[in-house]
Amino acid sequence: MSCGCRIDLTGIAVPVQEAVAVPRQSNEAPPESDLLPQPSAPDPRPMPRFLPWFVWGLGACLFGYGWFHRVAPGVMVDTLMGEFQVGGAVIGNLAGVYFYTYAITQIPAGLIVDAYGSRRIMAASALLCTIGALVFSMADGIVESFVGRLLIGLGAGPTFVIALNLAAVWCPRDRLALLGGLVMSFGVAGAMLGQVPLAWGVEAFGWRSSMYTAMLVGLTLTAGTWMVLRLPRPKPRAERPHGMAANIKSVLRRRDIWVLTLGGASTMAIMLAFGGLWAVPWLTQVQGFSRADAALLLSVNALGWGIGSPLIGWVSDRLGRRKPPFVGAMVMSVTTFAVLLLTPDLPAAAIYVLLFLQGLGTGGIMLIFATAHDRFAGGQEGLSAGIVNTGIMVGAASLQPLVGWVLDRHWQGAMAGGARVYDAAAYQSGLSVLIVCGVVAVLAGLMLPETSRED
């Protein structure tokens, strides 16, 4: 969600512009490392005009690359089941390990960027993603595939914070919000590449060749990040921030952070657990779509999210309120998903519309991060966003295998190509867990602390 986060699909977590915080003043000299610079500091040396955009674009592409890997297992579920001879719960955990590792990097990522700047960690992230993709593509067994996914998650975790920091350091300060939104667009594009194009690749060349090709893309990004390491810094270094342990305790003591975390995790449940893993099997096994058509439907779902995020944010800004548009968006999300899951014999056009509207409603996640910014203004914006994003990732990692476990419990013994096939009743039982999460999102929205533009 990944992730304010604003198609991972699985995404998703969802990231925040406030991840780049202004450090506190200190009498100590900063260490000799690539520290996070003040966005307002003057450029100490001239450079080609295209260079800042190249550096920022590289970080945005790396973020999109991470989102590609986030959703990739969703179009390979039955293939991986047959390849490794495992059930739905194991494949759910294989996809979920990305979210666990992604989640544990959220808060540390901000600290590392504050201490060492973004370019070194960007190079390390790209390298980890590339190695993980290679290990996954060459896995002989399920254990090796888990190792590959774990490395990918560790590499992808810091990428949103990295991209925002690059925007603040290398690009005009007054365009930070615009560039943050464009970073999210790169994420949606990466997620879409992990659906229809990847599904075509898996059908035409097999999953291993497709993932090996993805590894080569990662290798290209890694080479670019190492080139960026050799560039001079455009702005002076800033001092290292202090008091992070005290800030963490202060944030965790407040009720608001727990309401926001619950709201964020439940908001993203359908998008990340259904769209990120179980949508393609449901669409192919229950609704009769081909793998490529199912992936196209997921792209429509992601497109709705990509449009809904700025649209709902714009409505909130115009109203000067967060709660009403968030609750309305959550009602839309859970209602459309319930109709999609529980109504038999839906025409294809209705499925397209419902998935688009569900994605549109999921765009309300941006108001969770906006509220976190409002309620924790004054030096805790990035930390609160990291905690919320961690909750989103943990929720996704837990729900994907939980749905798989319920499916296994209702499995009737059908097999196809060495993989388990679940019937409509099994999917209704398993995916109803996500309807409950949608209801929780509505209730969390009603408990949200109201803020306004003046706050």
**Total domains, the chain:** 1
For residue 30, the model assigns a pLDDT of: 44
For residue 233, the model assigns a pLDDT of: 65
Q: Is 297 inside a domain boundary?
A: yes
Longest dimension (CA), the chain: 68
Residue 11 has pLDDT above 50, yes or no: no
> Quick one: which of 422, 428, 432, 434 has its CA closest to 89?
422
Higher pLDDT, 74 or 148: 148
For residue 40, the model assigns a pLDDT of: 38
The confidence band for 263, taking pLDDT boundaries of 50, 70 and 90, is very high
Higher pLDDT, 401 or 130: 130
pTM of the predicted structure, to 2 decimals: 0.67
- CA–CA distance from 333 to each of 15, 93, 252, 301, 339 (Å)? 20, 25, 29, 11, 10
Higher pLDDT, 418 or 285: 285
For residue 183, the model assigns a pLDDT of: 75
Secondary structure in 3-state letters for 24-49: CCCCCCCCCCCCCCCCCCCCCCCCCC
For residue 180, the model assigns a pLDDT of: 60
Residue 453 has pLDDT above 50, yes or no: no
Q: Is 454 inside a domain boundary?
A: no
The angle, 0 to 180 degrees and rounded to 10, between the axes of the packed helices 365-375 and 381-409 is 150
Per mean pLDDT, which of 73-82, 111-120, 149-158, 446-455 is the most reliable?
A: 149-158
Q: Is 7 inside a domain boundary?
A: no
The confidence band for 151, taking pLDDT boundaries of 50, 70 and 90, is very high
Q: In a 3-state reduction of DSSP, which class is residue 5?
A: coil
For residue 318, the model assigns a pLDDT of: 76
The confidence band for 173, taking pLDDT boundaries of 50, 70 and 90, is low
For residue 452, the model assigns a pLDDT of: 52
Contact 11, 1 (CB under 8 A): yes
Which residues is 419 bridged to in the sheet? 416
Q: Is 247 inside a domain boundary?
A: no
Predicted confidence (pLDDT) per residue in 178-199, tens digit? 566 677 778 888 988 887 789 8
Predicted confidence (pLDDT) per residue in 26-48, tens digit? 444 444 344 333 433 444 556 66
Once rounded to an integer, what is the mean pLDDT over residues 361-381? 75
User: What value does the mean pLDDT of the chain take?
Assistant: 80
Per mean pLDDT, which of 42-56, 142-156, 235-249, 363-377 is the most reliable?
A: 142-156
For residue 85, the model assigns a pLDDT of: 83
Q: Is 9 inside a domain boundary?
A: no
Predicted confidence (pLDDT) per residue in 212-255, tens digit? 999 999 999 999 988 887 776 665 554 444 567 777 788 888 99
List the CATH number of the domain containing 107: 1.20.1250.20
Predicted confidence (pLDDT) per residue in 130-142, tens digit? 999 999 999 988 8
String of b and e for 157-190 (b: at least 16 CB within 10 Å)? bbbbbbbbbbbbbbbeeeebeebbbbbbbbbbbb
The confidence band for 114, taking pLDDT boundaries of 50, 70 and 90, is low
For residue 346, the model assigns a pLDDT of: 92
Domain boundaries, position 289: 48-232+252-447
End-to-end CA separation in angstroms for the chain: 26
Distance between CA atoms of residues 399 and 377, nearest Å? 31
Residue 370 has pLDDT above 90, yes or no: no
Once rounded to an integer, what is the mean pLDDT over residues 343-372? 89
For residue 47, the model assigns a pLDDT of: 62
Q: How many helices (H) and strands (E) does the chain have?
A: 20, 2
For 199, which DSSP code? H
Q: Is 42 inside a domain boundary?
A: no
Residue 308 has pLDDT above 60, yes or no: yes
Distance between CA atoms of residues 65 and 71, nearest Å? 10
Distance between CA atoms of residues 406 and 62, nearest Å? 35
Q: Is 237 inside a domain boundary?
A: no
Contact 363, 311 (CB under 8 A): yes
Q: Which amino acid is at 382?
A: G
For residue 196, the model assigns a pLDDT of: 79
DSSP string, 252-271: HTSHHHHHHHHHHHHHTHII
Q: Is 173 inside a domain boundary?
A: yes
413-422: long-range contacts, CB 8 A cutoff, minimum separation 24: 416/78, 417/78, 417/82, 418/81, 418/82, 418/85, 419/77, 419/78, 419/79, 419/81, 419/82, 420/81, 420/87, 420/88, 421/285, 422/88, 422/281, 422/285
